[in-house]
Amino acid sequence: MYRIAVLSYHTSPLAPLGGAETGGLNVYVLELASELAERGHTVDVFTRRTDPAQAEIVHIGEGAPGTRIIHIDAGPARYLEKRALDAHLDAFEAGVAGFAERESLSYDVVHSHYWLSGVAGAKLKVRWGVPHVAMFHTLGEVKARARVSEREPEPRLAAERMIAQDADKIVVASRDEQQLLVRHYDADPDRIAVVPCGVNLGMFQPVDKDEARQQLGLGDDDQILLFVGRIEPLKGVDILLGAAAQMEGQSDCFVLVIGGDSDARTGEMAHLRDLAEELGIAERVSFLGAVDHERLPLFYSAADVCVVPSFYESFGLVALEAMACGTPVVASRVGGLTVAVRDGETGYLIPWRCPEPFAERLELLLGNDELRRAFGQAAREEVERFRWSNVAEAVLGIYGEVIDGTPARTTAVFRN
């Protein structure tokens, strides 16, 4: 049994989802931890304290030893923007080490999430003399290339380069990402493991569409396009709005946008509201703000199509969640979305980041009930292989490899 130190410095797995910095990474950390704990491993997830009232240790899930979330003092105990966080990284790393020393704990492996945690992971690797498994989730170089406005500061890029060279294993969610790491960061392909993300098939299940719509107060005959995710330019919600505006004869087509703070009067949310006005579709677009994860199956089931128009997506859990609810997905042909969605079988993959091709595919799907049903059914079957237990088995294989040199078996279900 392994004792695993997970680093999730910049965002807590306990934070509500759908905020500016809470999304797939948080879900990933929690789901993986719970799978590992179920198998008898001990998981301590270290995160930065953002509220003085937070208990130092919070136990989650059932059973012993289970998973603990450990809040470490590093900088002021309140929310800080990402760019203010590198200043407190040393304090975080020292805090994690201090906690382990105080509790007389030794870990078998450090698993870091996002580059900030990766920096701490590289230091703990040396301090503790244990292997470091890193996951970037997003890469600065790739973000910058995906959308011009996304220039990332040099310290991030330098840190990512350092981690790419230093980590014992880098876990990525797609071969696409593996290639990007090799190309832009000169990473050794043999030290990169491809493990697709997972979906909670118990939570994400199809609900009868009429019933879901009734529960949500949505019209029976409306055509509904759904977006779920953090509200930031990289997610390409502007492409979806542009597509909705272009679709002909779709006056009864509605767009639901879930995520972010729907009351925000600045930033991307304000920009998207203005755009909907400009495009003349404001009355057909609802910005619903963040929705509880547990409630999302209703929305996915109520929607006709889930749209994931990202400029860059290291995986895209939302696509899997929609598919698990039997809803076809129209997504950008980027990153992990190319693993999740089968073009022409469970949805469509769009190679261009502009509204026209999205509009064309959406029109096709909305206009054909039979096709939508067939795609939806195929989608639910397809996601079976993405259950979190498969992810956990693959990650355990990687731990075995870096801890005691046991070669990891390739999990057949994850070959793509």
Contact residues for ligand UDP, defined by CB under 6 A: 17-18, 23-25, 27, 228-230, 258-259, 290-291, 293, 296, 315-318, 321
Tell me how far CA of residue 156 lies from CA of 8, 115, 124, 165, 399, in angstroms: 16, 7, 19, 14, 26
Shortest spacing between CB 106 and ligand UDP, in angstroms = 31
Whole-number Å distance between alpha carbons of 407 and 238 = 45
Shortest spacing between CB 24 and ligand UDP, in angstroms = 2
**Based on CB atoms, which residue is closest to ligand UDP, 18 or 95?**
18
**Based on CB atoms, which residue is closest to ligand UDP, 118 or 259?**
259
Shortest spacing between CB 34 and ligand UDP, in angstroms = 14
**Based on CB atoms, which residue is closest to ligand UDP, 95 or 297?**
297
**In sequence order, what DSSP letters do the residues of 301-350 get, joined into one string?**
HH-SEEEE--S--S--HHHHHHHHTT--EEEES-TTHHHH--BTTTEEEE
Tell me how far CA of residue 182 lies from CA of 132, 176, 187, 219, 299, in angstroms: 18, 10, 5, 48, 38
**Based on CB atoms, which residue is closest to ligand UDP, 17 or 365?**
17
Contact between 347 and 318 (Cβ < 8 Å)? no
**Based on CB atoms, which residue is closest to ligand UDP, 107 or 312?**
312
Nearest residue to the partner ligand UDP, using Cβ: 23
**Based on CB atoms, which residue is closest to ligand UDP, 11 or 67?**
11
**Based on CB atoms, which residue is closest to ligand UDP, 27 or 362?**
27
CA-angle at 199, arms to 346 and 303, nearest 5°: 50
Q: Which two tokens stand for residue 147?
A: 């959308």
Shortest spacing between CB 14 and ligand UDP, in angstroms = 13
Shortest spacing between CB 387 and ligand UDP, in angstroms = 15
**Based on CB atoms, which residue is closest to ligand UDP, 173 or 253?**
173
Shortest spacing between CB 237 and ligand UDP, in angstroms = 12
Whole-number Å distance between alpha carbons of 291 and 372 = 25
**Based on CB atoms, which residue is closest to ligand UDP, 13 or 121?**
13
Residues in Cβ contact with 312 at an 8 Å cutoff, skipping those fewer than 6 apart: 138, 142, 143, 146, 147, 234, 334, 335
Contact between 213 and 300 (Cβ < 8 Å)? no
Whole-number Å distance between alpha carbons of 408 and 190 = 12
Handedness of CA 324, 328, 331, 335 (dihedral sign): positive
Q: Which of 147, 169, 145 is nearest to 157 (CA)?
A: 145
Contact between 192 and 182 (Cβ < 8 Å)? yes
Shortest spacing between CB 294 and ligand UDP, in angstroms = 8
Q: Which of 258, 267, 279, 262 is nearest to 232 (CA)?
A: 267
Residues in Cβ contact with 202 at an 8 Å cutoff, skipping those fewer than 6 apart: none
Whole-number Å distance between alpha carbons of 228 and 298 = 12
Shortest spacing between CB 233 and ligand UDP, in angstroms = 12
Shortest spacing between CB 204 and ligand UDP, in angstroms = 9
